[in-house]
Structure 1
C-alpha cells in the first residue's frame, strides 16, 4: 500500500551499498592481529568488596583479584542478506574497562549477516544466525557455530547448518547448553538444534510453523503520527528463549501478535504446548523481544509497533503468562514514526532499558517491588536506528548497536538512579545489530 513503511524496508532508501570484503578464514584478523592486541592487555577494574585494581598491592587480609580481559563480539548485516548492510562479517573487539572504549581485534568475513549472536552458558562457544534466505540454494537461513579460544577469544568455525526457515532473526542457547533455539522471521518457523559435545550443531529436533488470523499492521494505541508499520502478513517469530528454569521455551511472534509458551522435553528436544499455549498481545503491536527476571516469575515483553512494554507475571510451574501493566517507552512529547527494538534489564534488576528505532531514543524505567514500571528518563542515542542494548560485564557501561549509523555508542551508567550519560565514544562498525561480551583471564 502506498505510503506504508515496513520495519525491514523503512531505511533502505537511505542506506549506501556496502562493499563486502574478501573472505578470510575464521581465526584470522582482518586488521590488527590478535597477538598484537594481546601485547598490552587492558587493566582490570577493581572488584567489588574493596579489592585493589590489578597491579597494586591489596590491603591487609584482602585477596588480590586476577586480572581480566573483556572482549566484545559484534554481529550485523552484510551485503548477503536482507536488508543488505555494510558489515564485513562478525567482529571481535577488546574493551578498556576504565574508559569503555572498544578496540578492533579481528573480523571473520566468511559469515553472512550474523544479525544475532549468543554465547553458550560456559562461554566456550558462540552461535550466530545467518539472516539469509538461500542457504544451500534452499529457501532457508542458517546457523553457524564457533569455538572460542579461552586465552585470546579468537573464534574457530565449527560448522553451519540450516535454520529451518528464511531470514532467522534471533537465536539463544538453552540454559543446559544442550540446544540452540532459532526463530526464522520470514520463514514463520522456529527450531531447536541439538548441540554436540564439541560445540558444533547437530540434528534439528523440533521445527514448528506458527499459524493464526491476519492481524492489523498498526496497533490502536500507536504513537501519534507513526507511519512505520510492522509486517503482519504472516507468522513472524522474532525471539525464542527459555525461561530461567529451562522447562519452558517462549516465542514472541511479531506477525501474529502472540507470545507462545512451549514445554521442552530435555531428552528428545521436542516441544509441546503449555496448558495455555499463548497469550495474545494488543492487535498490531508486534511483540518483538522479552526479558525474564532472574527468578523467572516476571516477564517484560517489548512490542515494537506501538513501542510499549507489557509487564506480566510468569508461573514457572505451568508457563502461564498474566499481563498486569502496559507502559510506553516514549514520553508524551514524542510524535512521529518509531519502532521499539531492544529491551534489557540492569544487572541489579532495578531498572529496564529500551531502544527506540527511528525515534533514536533510549528509555529508562525504574522497576517497583511488584515489577511495575515508571519511565524516569528518555535520552537521544546520538546515532541512528539503535537496536540491541548490552551492559559490559562490569555493569558500568551500556552499549547500543546503531544499524544505520554504522557505529556502536556507549553510555556511563549511574547505578543509583539508573540514568545514563553519553560517553562521546563512537566505535565504527558496519551495520551493527547485536553483541556479546566475554571475560577471560589475562595472559601472563
Structure 2
C-alpha cells in the first residue's frame, strides 16, 4: 500500500467514527463484477430510488461474494481467482467511496462470505473445495489469516450466524444438508453437530438462506429443484422444523432446468423475494406474520441470469443484477402489497453477481 493510500485509509478510519449531524444521510450500493474484476459503487436516492454512479474500484481478480461488517464501515470482497483472497475496504460514510485496507488469503475459492455479529470473524463456504473456513478480523476491521477449515460434503454454498451468534449454519448443496456448528465467540472456533440441522430431499441443492427479523422463521432456497423452504426457528435452542415448501418457478417455466439463486426479506419481514436464473425472474411473496407461510404476489422479469440482488435498509427499493447482463435494474417495493415496479436500469460491469447496500443516517455514521 503506497503512502497516499495509507494517509487516505487513516482519514477514513477517523471519518468512520466522527460523522456528525452536519453530514447528510446517504445510502450506497456496491456491485461485484466477476468478469470485469471490479466493484461498481452507486449512491441511492431514497426519495425516488434512482442511482448515481460514484466510482468503479478495480479488485484485480474474479470478485464475487461480498459482506459488510456489522457497523457497516468495512466491506469485504472475496476473490475466486488465484490467489484466493479477501480484500478489506473502508467505506467512507461521507461519499460511499472505498479505500483498500488490506488483503488476506482465503482457504479456497469461496462462494459465500459473512461475519459474525461482533465483526471479529469472517466465515466462508467453498463450493469447489467442499469446506467451510474462518478468518480472524482485527480490531481495525481488516481480515487476517485463515484460522480454521472444516471439510463438508460436496459443494458447500452459504454460511451465516444465527441471530443470537451462538451457532453458525451452512448449506451444502451436494449433500442436501443444512449444517449447524457451535461458535465459540472467544476464539472463533466452530464445532459441527454430528447430524445436520435439517436434511432436504435428494437433489434439492440447498443454497442461500435468511432468518426473519423476529427470529421465528428461516427461509432456504434450493438451487436444483425450484423450491423454497419455510422453517420454524426455535431461537431458544437454535433448531428448526419444516412448515411449508413453495415453488420459485414462474407459471410458464416449461421443461427447463430450475436454477434457484438468491433470496432476501424486507427489513420489516413482510415480504420475501427470490431470484431464479433459468427464467431470469424475481418472485415476490407476502409473509404471514403468524405462521411464516408464503403467498405468492407475482413474478417479474429481470436482468439475465440473476445470481444476486438486495433490498435497501428502508425496505423501499430492490436492486438486481445478472451475470449475463451489464445493467442493474432498480425496483420500487410497494409497502402495502409487496409488488415491484421498475424504476430504471444502470450500467455495471461484466459478470455482475452480488449486491450489498449500506445506509448512513448522518447522525452517528450508520
TM-score, normalisation: structure 1 = 0.73
Higher strand share: 2
| Alignment: residue pair count | 344
Q: After TM superposition, list the pairs within 5 Å mapping 1:308-347 onto structure 2.
A: 308-335=227-254, 336-347=256-267
1:70–1:98 Cα change, 3 Å:
same
1:168 aligns with 2:110: yes
State the partner residue of 1:256: 175
1:240-291 residue CA offsets vs partner (Å, 9 max, x unmatched):
0001110110111112111100110011211112474432112111111001
Structure 1 residues without counterparts, runs of 5 or longer: 1-24, 28-63, 78-84, 136-140, 212-234
Task: Pick the aligned partner of 1:296 from 187, 207, 215.
Answer: 215
1:159 aligns with 2:130: no
State the partner residue of 2:74: 125
| 8 Å CA contact 1:130, 1:143 repeated in 2 | yes
**What's the offset of the Cα at 1:389?**
2.0
| 8 Å CA contact 1:409, 1:427 repeated in 2 | no
1:100 aligns with 2:100: no
State the partner residue of 2:159: 240
Q: After TM superposition, list the pairs within 5 Å mapping 1:369-380 onto structure 2.
A: 369-380=290-301
Write the distance in 1 (CA, Å) between the matches of 2:297 and 2:45.
29
1:176-208 residue CA offsets vs partner (Å, 9 max, x unmatched):
111111111111111111110111122423210
**What's the offset of the Cα at 1:424?**
3.5
Structure 2 residues without counterparts, runs of 5 or longer: 7-20
1:159–1:376 Cα change, 3 Å:
same
Task: Pick the aligned partner of 2:29 from 53, 60, 72.
Answer: 72
Structure with higher RCO (Cα < 8 A, 6+ apart): 2
1:332–1:440 Cα change, 3 Å:
closer
Write the distance in 1 (CA, Å) between the matches of 2:185 and 2:362.
36
Q: After TM superposition, list the pairs within 5 Å mapping 1:327-406 onto structure 2.
A: 327-335=246-254, 336-368=256-288, 369-381=290-302, 383-406=303-326
SS in 2 for 1:318: coil
Write the distance in 1 (CA, Å) between the matches of 2:96 and 2:24.
15
Larger Rg: 1
Task: Pick the aligned partner of 2:226 from 307, 328, 342.
Answer: 307
Mean alpha-carbon deviation: is it higher for 334-343 or for 173-182?
Answer: 334-343
1:375-411 residue CA offsets vs partner (Å, 9 max, x unmatched):
1211211x21112121123322111111101111011
State the partner residue of 2:128: 186
Mean alpha-carbon deviation: is it higher for 195-204 or for 237-246?
Answer: 195-204
| 8 Å CA contact 2:267, 2:314 repeated in 1 | no
TM-score, normalisation: structure 2 = 0.88
Write the distance in 2 (CA, Å) between the matches of 1:427 and 1:345.
25
